[in-house]
Structures are given as structure tokens and as C-alpha cells.
Amino acid sequence: MDAMGQSGAQVGSHSVDRRTIATYAVGSLGTGGFATLPGLVLLYFLTDTLGVAALVAGIVIAAAKVWDVLIDPVIGIRSDHSLATTGSRRRFMILGGVTLPVFFFLTFAVPAGLGPAASAGWVFVAFLCCATAFSLFQVPYIALPAELASGYDDRTRLLTWRVVVLTLAILLFGAGGPLLRGISDDPRVGYLVMAAVAGLVLGAGMLVASSVAPSDKPIARRSPAQSPAAAYRAGLDTLRRSRPFRTLLGTFVLQGLATGMMLAGAQYVATWVLRSEDAVTPLFVALIAPALLLAPVWGRFARRVGKERAFALASTLFAVAALALVGLLWAPGLWVYAPVALAGAAYAGMQSLPMAMLPDVISHDARSNGEGHAGTFGGVWTAGETAGMAFGATVLSMILATTGYAERVAGASVEQSPSAILGIVLSFSVVPALLLVASLFTLRWYRLRQSDIDSPSRPAENRTVAR
């Protein structure tokens, strides 16, 4: 057995030990926190503290994330190379965990004397470095479940508890971040405090999870280093040969676009629709409290009906909840917390189930094409996830710009036009709901089932689901 099968998980048995589950799950403090806090506050920081125009702010975030998308497949194939030559992916994860807190702090440490254009440039460079550090951790982290657990249900169990921590991280950063930001009357100081505390927590979660990867050890197998061009070819090849991967990734990207848009829009809804900048905290509590309770329930439900059916139900519920939020146009009020809570209950399934399906896809591919490609799959997956979340904020910025949103510098007072309020609400309700409906159509083409994973007697190349 090679090194990737020896990581504290009992690969080949019917269970994964609790220590492996817990240690792996802690990494979601980093992944969940980084996915949540910049998505929630960075666009708002640019438009309402630095005075950057909404469209320019959206381009800044998208450009940094495009770089992230480009490097993810390269990190993925280099991670596979590291596994083949040293028996471990850990070095990438540690490097990301050490450097991310520094760049996260610098993203919000914009000197006060800079104008909007220079401030946008500062944020772009710092956030680009921050996204790079995150990818160094995230790509191998995504690849690990295929190596830590060998069974269909074992992966559901491993990923379910990861999503419990992920959900807790969303609550911690989504509600706690704005509270830390409000610790000072000076918004710039508040953002610095938030960035310092959040960055340390992000890095700590990543470093703890890095220990679940096997440590470096000399092994007989050797693999030549791959060029970036080879990395892209390998990534495209995974998409070409694996239909389950294409359909699952397409579904997840569409949903990432929807949730990224809603995440970036939450602060605008709180400030301009609910008329309280601090209302973003109870919005996140309403979203995450049901998700915390129901993440394990979705895992149990998936074992009864199948992951893909449970995923479709969760996605449908989220679409219904998002569409209901269009009522904010006519009657903003406390009722909003009910559909937000329904969205939270659905969101737990939308996160845990595709994450549990991805290792199945990797395992299924390994039967036909050999092991050692999990990092490549992880790189393409992370690139798709990053693109979805990032362009969610960009689409929001385009809607805001089109509907006449008025940016401001810290301390300035502005009023938004009715068309700007319309843009905020539609981007928080109708547009995400339509994206969720589109994702259900792509999910219909996912054909991988438990029998394809846990029945080794059937050759993978003879199964129609593979292509």
C-alpha cells in the first residue's frame, strides 16, 4: 500500500477513526471562514469605505479570483507529484496556513492617504496573494477525502462533520466579523481588528488540519514534475473523461454563483433594505443556526435515499427560500428571517452532499485510470468553486452599477435610489433562485450511485455513468 492510504484513516475498512474525522473537519474553519468573510465584507469595504465604484470593485475581486482559478490546477498536479514522490501533500497545506493570515491582514490594511484608484490596486495585489495562499491549502485539502476514506458511506460521514464545522465557521465569521468591525468608530480601524483576529483563526484551522495528511517519507515511486501546461491538460482530461465530475462541478459552480451573490449582497440588504448595518449579524444567525442542526440530518437522509436525491431536495428548498425574499421589495421586516432560516437548513445539504460525492467521483475514476489524480480533481474543483463564488460578487457589482448604486467613502452620507434598492433585492432573491433552478437541470445528468462505488466486481470501464 502506498503512503496515501496511511493517514490515520482505516482505508479499506468500514470506518474512519474519530480523530481523523475531527482533525480533518477543523480545516473548515479556514475554508469556511475564507469563503465567508471576504465574500461578505470585501465588496462593501471597497464601495462604502474606500469609495471605489461598484463595477470597479467587482472587477478587482474577480481579477484576483481569476488568478486563483488559473493556479488551482497547477497546485493540484504539483500536489499529486508531491504525493507520488514524498508520500504527502502536507507541505502545500502548511505553506498556505502560514502565509494566509499575513496577506489577509494586508488586504484590509489600506493606507488612509490613498485615493479610490490606488486603494483598489492595493486590495487587488494583497487579495491576489491571499487567494494564492488559500489555494495552496484548499486544493490538497479537497483531495484528501478520497485517500482518508474508502467507502461510499464513510465519505458521507467524513464530509458531514466537515460541513458541521464549515457551518460553524460561517456563523463565526459571518456574524463575528461584522461585530469585530464595529469595535471602533473608525471603520478602517474596525476592519484591521477584524482582519487580524480572523486571519489568525483561519491560519490556525488550516495548520491543525494539515496534520491529518501523512508526513513526508521516502518512497520508491517517482513521478516527473509537471509543467503548468501539463497541469491544464490534466485538468481538462478529468473533465473530458468523467461525466459524473462534469455534471457535479457544473451544478456546484452554478450554486456557488448564487450563494456568492447572496453572501456579497447580505450587507447591502442589511444597510439599505433593513436600514441597519448591524442587521447582517442576525441574518447570519438565522441562516446558520438551522444549518448547524441539520447538517448531520442531511447525512443520514442521504444514506436512506442517495446523495444525489438528497442534494436535489436541498437545492430545491434553497431556491424556494431565495425566491421568497423578493418580498423585501414591498415589505421589509422581521419576516425575512423565516425564509433565511429555510435557506440555512437547505444550505447544510448543499455543502455536505456534493463534498461527499466528489471523493466518490475520484474513486470511480481511479478504477479506470489509476490512482494519484485526486489533486488534479481537487484543483479543477477548487477553480470552479472559486470562480462561482467570485463571479457571484462580480455579477452583484454589475447589477448595482446598472441600477445606479451610489458608492461612498467612510463617514459620508448617501441615499440610494429606488432602482438601486430594486437591484439589491433582485440580486438577493430572484437571480439566485434562477441559478439554483439551472443547477437542478445539470444535476439530472449525474448518474453515479452507491453500487458503482462499493461494488468492485463490476469493471468501471463497462459502466455507462463514467462518460
Its pTM stands at 0.70
Task: Set out the domains of the chain in order of their start, with CATH numbers.
Answer: 18-218+231-466 (1.20.1250.20)
Q: pLDDT, tens digit, for every residue of 111-158?
A: 988 999 999 999 999 999 998 999 899 888 887 876 776 666 676 677
Q: pLDDT tens, 259-306?
A: 888 888 888 999 899 988 888 888 888 887 888 788 788 888 988 888
pLDDT for the residue numbered 77: 81
> What's the 3-state SS for the chain?
CCHHHECCCECCCCCCCHHHHHHHHHCHHHHHHHHHHHHHHHHHHHHHCECCCHHHHHHHHHHHHHHHHHHHHHHHHHHHHHHHHHCCCHHHHHHHHHHHHHHHHHHHCCCCCCCHHHHHHHHHHHHHHHHHHHHHHHHHHHHCHHHHCCCHHHHHHHHHHHHHHHHHHHHHHHHHHHHHHCCCCCHHHHHHHHHHHHHHHHHHHHHHHHCCCCCCCCCCCCCCCCCHHHHHHHHHHHHHHCHHHHHHHHHHHHHHHHHHHHHHHHHHHHHHHCCCHHHHHHHHHHHHHHHHHHHHHHHHHHHHHCHHHHHHHHHHHHHHHHHHHHHHHCCCCHHHHHHHHHHHHHHHHHHHHHHHHHHHHHHHHHHHHCCCCHHHHHHHHHHHHHHHHHHHHHHHHHHHHHCCCCCCECCCCCCCCHHHHHHHHHHHCHHHHHHHHHHHHHHCCCCCCHHHHHCCCCCHHHCHHHC
The pLDDT value given to residue 457: 44
Tell me: the pLDDT tens digits for 373-428? 677 787 788 778 777 777 888 889 899 989 998 877 665 677 889 999 999 999 99
Q: What is the pLDDT of residue 452?
A: 60
Residue 247 has pLDDT above 50, yes or no: yes
